[in-house]
Amino acid sequence: MQEPAPDQHPAITGAVELLLGSGGKRLRPALVFLSARLCGADPDVALFAAAGVEMLHTATLVHDDLIDGSLMRRGAETLNARWSPAATVLTGDYLFARAAYWVARTENTRLVQRFAETLMVICNGEIRQMFDGRGKVPSFQEYEQRIYAKTASLIALSAESGAILAHTDEATIAAMRTYGERLGLAFQVVDDVLDFVADERTLGKPVGSDLRQGLVTLPVMLFLEQSGDHPALHRILHQGSSDPTVQEAVRAIAASPAIERSLQIARDYIREAKEALQPFPPSEYRAALLDLADFVVRRQF
Amino acid sequence: MQEPAPDQHPAITGAVELLLGSGGKRLRPALVFLSARLCGADPDVALFAAAGVEMLHTATLVHDDLIDGSLMRRGAETLNARWSPAATVLTGDYLFARAAYWVARTENTRLVQRFAETLMVICNGEIRQMFDGRGKVPSFQEYEQRIYAKTASLIALSAESGAILAHTDEATIAAMRTYGERLGLAFQVVDDVLDFVADERTLGKPVGSDLRQGLVTLPVMLFLEQSGDHPALHRILHQGSSDPTVQEAVRAIAASPAIERSLQIARDYIREAKEALQPFPPSEYRAALLDLADFVVRRQF
């Protein structure tokens, strides 16, 4: 899927190779393939959908890193760390186009529509976070909505893709979608936990990056619920952050019960994800999807 | 088509209203409707395609204005003049998603694929211009490739949309596409001429804006061909521009035969556009498309 498009500028080819070659977990394409196998979709067509989701995911990362000013991802420099904002914006746009191109190759208009809707949900969530989110402690419902938009919506789409391509009944599409949505919510909660407890080298980016940007995630919410207030956190949320303050807050939260309580919520999501697969008869593909769910809460990176 | 999507953030709704309400020539949706009528496509389905092209066009303008740092368009402040770069990037992304959504509503996978390919061409052209283009005098072929990517590709898509939706034979799709492509090339040449000779108030943005960014367009190319060199132009292209230098160069080019020679090239494109419509039997829709072609070279804004 990395074959260059006709007349593709060498700078883009280089960027695409860099971005897609830099590793990452490939969770979304894996979900598309497993979902396609489980539901009986043509694997050749699923390949287009898998390329589409991974490309769409990469496009959103390119713009996110630019917006957040992130310089490292997956242990490598981000595109915006090397390129001008203008070139980074355009490369992200190009990747959106490539994503749309691959999804269109499935010749399944329902899937194309679901892709477009998902990108709308993702952008809308980002804009909401930007206008409403910084330094504010969300309710649990607001937090769940935010991580749905940011992460779970695309993972849900990946999981339902196979069912849509296989033209199964609506109940099967809904079950695959629920599996993906719950998996995606768990995935983001674990991401938010890792931002406090991970080893920077394994994580491939600095810890505490959400807090540094004034973004309040589940571990912070649960920490505040238990501790009432904390001087370092208070300064970060009300007056902006300095690096020693962020490190102090990260250490306090990492050592608190808020981490285990967050992981318990992730495990609850995973239980719901697995339950959604119960209607499917046992098969190696169903087993793989169940294993994948367990991996999401056990991972260290 | 301005109905808000579910859960659309008020900031986006405001931006969409601002952008789509600010006028503009609506050339692209008009082409989709006329092409649909001429070729016998369902007008209700053409409406989705028309919304898609206009939304895609608007999305590219939002990112272009950000990249170029343009503060005025269509006589109003651009989005990036009011909003942060981050919010502007995300709003553009959201509009790409909306464009994809409307095109997907046509349930025509060929059209969706053509949309995705066109966005790839547009982004690729922008990136080429950014990496290779500033301060460089292009060959005529390079100039034509650039204005094809920038403008004619989407206008060609608009014109062929009706034929694709009507499932006509390939020759008809190709004829409509040629019409749109030639029309689009003429449209951009006229745009490039207006950047030298238009009244700023009618144009809705400052004149000389291409030159100010070191972008060499057809009038400059033809001016240099005739005059050899020019002190003000030389300074702009080799040492960067200051405002009085740009104004001096704009005046020199506006008063030169390069303007009329550029318009002659635009008229040649328009002749080719009209020839492409010859196979169609006379009808009010064919007549409207021929009139539209004449308008493109006669317009003052």
In Å, how far is A48's CA from the nearest CA of chain B?
12
For residues B47, A59, B215, B146, the Cα torsion angle rounded to the nearest 10 degrees is -60
Chain A positions touching B64 (Cβ under 8 A) are: none
Residue A263 placed within a domain: yes
In Å, how far is B133's CA from the nearest CA of chain A?
13
Q: Which residues have CB under 8 Å from B146's CB, separation 6+?
A: B125, B128, B129, B133, B138
Identify which of A8, A108, A124 has the shortest CB distance to residue B124: A8
Contact yes or no for B123 and A97 at CB 8 A: yes
Residue A3 placed within a domain: no
Intervals of chain B under pLDDT 50 = 1
Phi, psi for A72 (deg, rounded to 5): -130, 140
Residue A81 placed within a domain: yes
Residue A77 placed within a domain: yes
Select from A123, A145, A153, A165 the residue whose CB has the most chain B CBs within 10 Å, as the one to mutate to test that interface.
A123
Contact yes or no for A94 and B127 at CB 8 A: yes
pLDDT single digits (tens) B58-99:
999 999 888 888 777 777 788 888 888 888 899 999 999 999
What pLDDT, on the 0 to 100 scale, is given for residue B243?
A: 81
Identify which of B90, B112, B117 has the shortest CB distance to residue A130: B90
Q: Which domain holds residue B211?
A: 11-298
Residue B28 placed within a domain: yes
What pLDDT, on the 0 to 100 scale, is given for residue A108?
A: 95
- Specify the residue for token string 């779970």: A152
Question: Quick one: DSSP state of residue B75?
Answer: T
Within B129-212, residue ranges assigned H as helices are: 140-147, 153-165, 170-197, 200-203, 209-212
Chain B positions touching A69 (Cβ under 8 A) are: none
Contact yes or no for B131 and A101 at CB 8 A: no
Residue B5 placed within a domain: no
Contact yes or no for A96 and B107 at CB 8 A: no
What pLDDT, on the 0 to 100 scale, is given for residue B85?
A: 84
Rounded CA-CA distance A75/A73 in Å is 5
What pLDDT, on the 0 to 100 scale, is given for residue B301?
A: 60
Residue A36 placed within a domain: yes
What pLDDT, on the 0 to 100 scale, is given for residue A22?
A: 65
Select from B3, B8, B9, B118 the residue whose CB has the most chain A CBs within 10 Å, as the one to mutate to test that interface.
B9
What pLDDT, on the 0 to 100 scale, is given for residue B84?
A: 82
Task: Note down pLDDT in tens along chain A; length 301 residues.
Answer: 455 565 678 877 777 777 776 667 789 999 999 999 999 999 999 999 999 999 999 999 999 888 888 777 777 788 888 888 888 899 999 999 999 999 999 999 999 999 999 999 999 999 888 887 678 899 999 999 999 999 999 999 999 999 999 999 999 999 999 999 999 999 999 999 999 998 766 666 678 888 988 899 999 999 999 988 888 898 888 887 788 889 999 999 999 999 999 999 999 999 999 999 999 999 999 999 999 999 999 876 6
Identify which of A63, A87, A103 has the shortest CB distance to residue B89: A63
Domains in chain B: how many in total?
Answer: 1
What pLDDT, on the 0 to 100 scale, is given for residue A50?
A: 97
One DSSP character per residue, A288-301 reads HHHHHHHHHHH---
Report ipTM for this prediction: 0.86
Residue B2 placed within a domain: no
Contact yes or no for B87 and A130 at CB 8 A: yes
Domain containing residue A202: CATH number: 1.10.600.10
